[in-house]
Chain A
Amino acid sequence: MNNTIQYNSNKVIVAENLTKKFGNFKAVDHISFEVERGEIFGFLGANGAGKTTAMRMLCGLSIPSGGKGTVAGYDIGTQTELVKKSIGYMSQKFSLYDDLKVWENIELFGGIYGMKSPEIKEKTDALMKVLDFENERDKLVGSLPLGFKQKLAFSVSIFHNPQVVFLDEPTGGVDPITRRQFWELIYEATSRGITVFVTTHYMDEAEYCDRVSIMVDGKIEALNSPKNLRKQFNADSMDDVFQQLARKAKRVDG
């Protein structure tokens, strides 16, 4: 992770003609894009468009059938172990252990990412303060409201200071106010130089991203800042942009 070459490189995620086939079905069809350090990159698309598959390839969970990609400077086809060390991940299924206490969850994931105990302890104290969670520290995660859990899950996913964090529909099922608070945490992370790669269904969230890509049937149909996209598609909102593109989709759900 301390490799100078990658550190100077500002391209944290690079995808070149990335493809994933399941039999004859091209779930992801030659997608190419680059994400810069500290950027918030929105990855949009209807259900079945191939978002999750693309993200899984970038995380090293799934080997590409074609094309190339690097994350944090490591090849996602051959250096998956190094990729895994450099990234954080939060899935749409809320992903902490309900029957562990707040601090135990943090300690566990710190341990999994090879952090030392004193460092974990120190950072846990700081995190509890930032999140205003000091009273919840010894509570079981299962007893917390969903919004709390999501904030905690996000904080845990960037606890080991990864270069990139992948968020797979992180804010499903919470109200707009909680979502807004969640996004404040995301901004705070990018200010520390963490790159955020986020998939979402909510178009208000798309507006918060620096750049947005929209996938339709396995291909990237549009990629630009929300403002430029609105201009390009002559639309009032991202929702409108999305509707125009998604209407072209031939695949239905999946």
Chain B
Amino acid sequence: MKQLFSFIRKEFYHILRDKTTIMILLLMPIIQIILFGFALTTEVKDTQVAVLTTTNDEASSRIIDKLNASAYFDVVAKIHNEDEIQTVFRDAKAKLVVVFEDHFAEKLRHTGKAHIQLIADATDPNAATSFTFYASNIINSYQLELMSEAKNPYQIIPEVKMLYNPQMEGAFNFVPGVLGMILILICAMMTSIAIVREKEMGTMEILLVSPMKPIYTILSKITPYFVLSCVNFATIMLLSVFVLKVPIAGSFLSLILVSFLYIFVALALGLLISTMASTQIAAMLISGMGLMIPVMLLSGMIFPIENMPVPLQIVSSIIPARWYISAVKSIMIQGLGFSSILKEVGVLALMATVLIGISMKKFKVRLE
């Protein structure tokens, strides 16, 4: 045990003495969360709206007036033909087109039911969610007014259609995404670099000649990065809850459990990389190319997996971050229970087992 403790302490010295790196590692999550957070949070104000009506009836005018009167919207155009919708979007005249169905007021009066379609430019998915939500609310408030005036229940059914990004992925994604990225970066990249550094410096030889058990070397290498990951996890959680107001809707315990599992997978990956690379640069490139880029592009953090071609979807399923991000979304954003992330937990556990198995075996091989 004394062996292990001496060695873990040494690893902490390494990390704490490298001031630049430790600063980067601690500040990176803060900067990323703030950047992603405020870059994606768009104030919805004076969103340009185009209105499509075929009949100028009282009900539709009331709704249009209400939209226009609110701070959120600015009705800029009235169109009378469906073909014009495309033109409105293409010329960027409006971000939202409100389509009243034919004979809107008449249908509302006679059947008590009428449809409104909200077509949004969802290029900026976060903004699109917000303004369609506001628009739906305004329509609902008109409906309530009608109901209080008349005895019969009236029902206006808003139907929302997102153009360009129908899944609306990307809205709340960045908190789970940043978590997934930071944890893999710290665990996998830093661990592999730390182990490879010993090889490069020639100190690994000394360790192999010493009675130090290889498992102790591994354990003491991963301990500090495990601690660092926990600190970063806490930072990201605090920032997202208190600064970004993204609440943790589900069980915090489940979130911690799945995060530990993910950290474990990432550490195993780092170990595996360290057995393949012989220089720190190589370790950095492998983890950069092999982990960071797939995490950014294929994990669903930025681009929705559902929109990817099938081969890429298959590739994405071997990326641990994909499963972690999906689990975090379920728990943190959707507030689902642990039972809903069993699949993700299963996949991550399988990955951890396989990775640990391979890297332990490879680590032994180097001892001959």
The answer to whether the Cβ of A63 comes within 8 Å of any Cβ in the partner chain is yes
Contact with A along B1-42 (1 / 0, CB 8 A): 011011101100110011000000000000000000000000
A202→B201 CA distance, assembly (Å): 23
The answer to whether the Cβ of A161 comes within 8 Å of any Cβ in the partner chain is no
A99→B368 CA distance, assembly (Å): 29
Among A61, A91, A112, A140, the residue within 8 A (CB) of B202 is: A91
The answer to whether the Cβ of A62 comes within 8 Å of any Cβ in the partner chain is yes
Question: Which of B70-78, B208-216, B300-308 makes up part of the contact surface?
Answer: B208-216
Is the pair A113, B211 in contact by a Cβ cutoff of 8 Å? yes
Q: Which residues of A lie under 8 Å from residue B10 when comparing CB positions?
A: 97, 100, 104, 108
Q: Which residues of A lie under 8 Å from residue B7 when comparing CB positions?
A: 108, 111-112
Is the pair B6, A93 in contact by a Cβ cutoff of 8 Å? no
A213→B105 CA distance, assembly (Å): 106
Known pairs A97-B10, A100-B10; A112 contacts B201 (CB<8 A) = no
Shortest CB-to-CB span from A182 to chain B, Å, is: 18
Give the total of B residues in contact with A, Cβ under 8 Å.
24
Is the pair A95, B210 in contact by a Cβ cutoff of 8 Å? no
Is the pair A61, B367 in contact by a Cβ cutoff of 8 Å? yes
A100→B15 CA distance, assembly (Å): 11
Contact with B along A85-113 (1 / 0, CB 8 A): 10101111111111110001001111111
Shortest CB-to-CB span from A216 to chain B, Å, is: 25
Select from chain A the residue with minimum beta-carbon distance to B208: A61
Is the pair B205, A93 in contact by a Cβ cutoff of 8 Å? yes
A112→B228 CA distance, assembly (Å): 24
Q: Which residues of B lie under 8 Å from residue A112 when comparing CB positions?
A: 3, 6-7, 207, 210-212
Is the pair A87, B209 in contact by a Cβ cutoff of 8 Å? yes
The answer to whether the Cβ of A38 comes within 8 Å of any Cβ in the partner chain is no
Among B2, B210, B368, the residue within 8 A (CB) of A62 is: B368
The answer to whether the Cβ of B137 comes within 8 Å of any Cβ in the partner chain is no
A111→B3 CA distance, assembly (Å): 5
Among A61, A95, A111, the residue within 8 A (CB) of B5 is: A111
Give residues 152-196 of B contacting A (CB, 8 Å): none
Q: Which residues of A lie under 8 Å from residue B18 when comparing CB positions?
A: 99
Shortest CB-to-CB span from B259 to chain A, Å, is: 30
The answer to whether the Cβ of A60 comes within 8 Å of any Cβ in the partner chain is yes
The answer to whether the Cβ of A176 comes within 8 Å of any Cβ in the partner chain is no
Shortest CB-to-CB span from A154 to chain B, Å, is: 12
Q: Which residues of A lie under 8 Å from residue B201 when comparing CB positions?
A: 93, 95, 97-98
The answer to whether the Cβ of B206 comes within 8 Å of any Cβ in the partner chain is yes
Q: Which residues of A lie under 8 Å from residue B202 when comparing CB positions?
A: 91-95
Among A84, A96, A99, A100, the residue within 8 A (CB) of B209 is: A84
The answer to whether the Cβ of B353 comes within 8 Å of any Cβ in the partner chain is no
Select from chain A the residue with minimum beta-carbon distance to B200: A93
Q: Which residues of B lie under 8 Å from residue A62 when comparing CB positions?
A: 368
Is the pair B13, A104 in contact by a Cβ cutoff of 8 Å? yes
Is the pair A114, B2 in contact by a Cβ cutoff of 8 Å? yes
Q: Which residues of A lie under 8 Å from residue B207 when comparing CB positions?
A: 112
The answer to whether the Cβ of B251 comes within 8 Å of any Cβ in the partner chain is no
A115→B27 CA distance, assembly (Å): 39
The answer to whether the Cβ of A81 comes within 8 Å of any Cβ in the partner chain is yes
The answer to whether the Cβ of A12 comes within 8 Å of any Cβ in the partner chain is no
Give residues 85-138 of B contacting A (CB, 8 Å): none
Shortest CB-to-CB span from B20 to chain A, Å, is: 13
Q: Which residues of B lie under 8 Å from residue A108 when comparing CB positions?
A: 6-7, 9-10
Q: Which residues of B lie under 8 Å from residue A107 when comparing CB positions?
A: 6
The answer to whether the Cβ of A27 comes within 8 Å of any Cβ in the partner chain is no
Give residues 240-275 of B contacting A (CB, 8 Å): none
Known contacts A104-B10, A112-B211; can you find 12 more A-B pairs with CB under 8 A? A61-B209, A62-B368, A90-B206, A97-B10, A97-B14, A99-B13, A108-B6, A111-B2, A111-B5, A112-B3, A114-B3, A114-B211
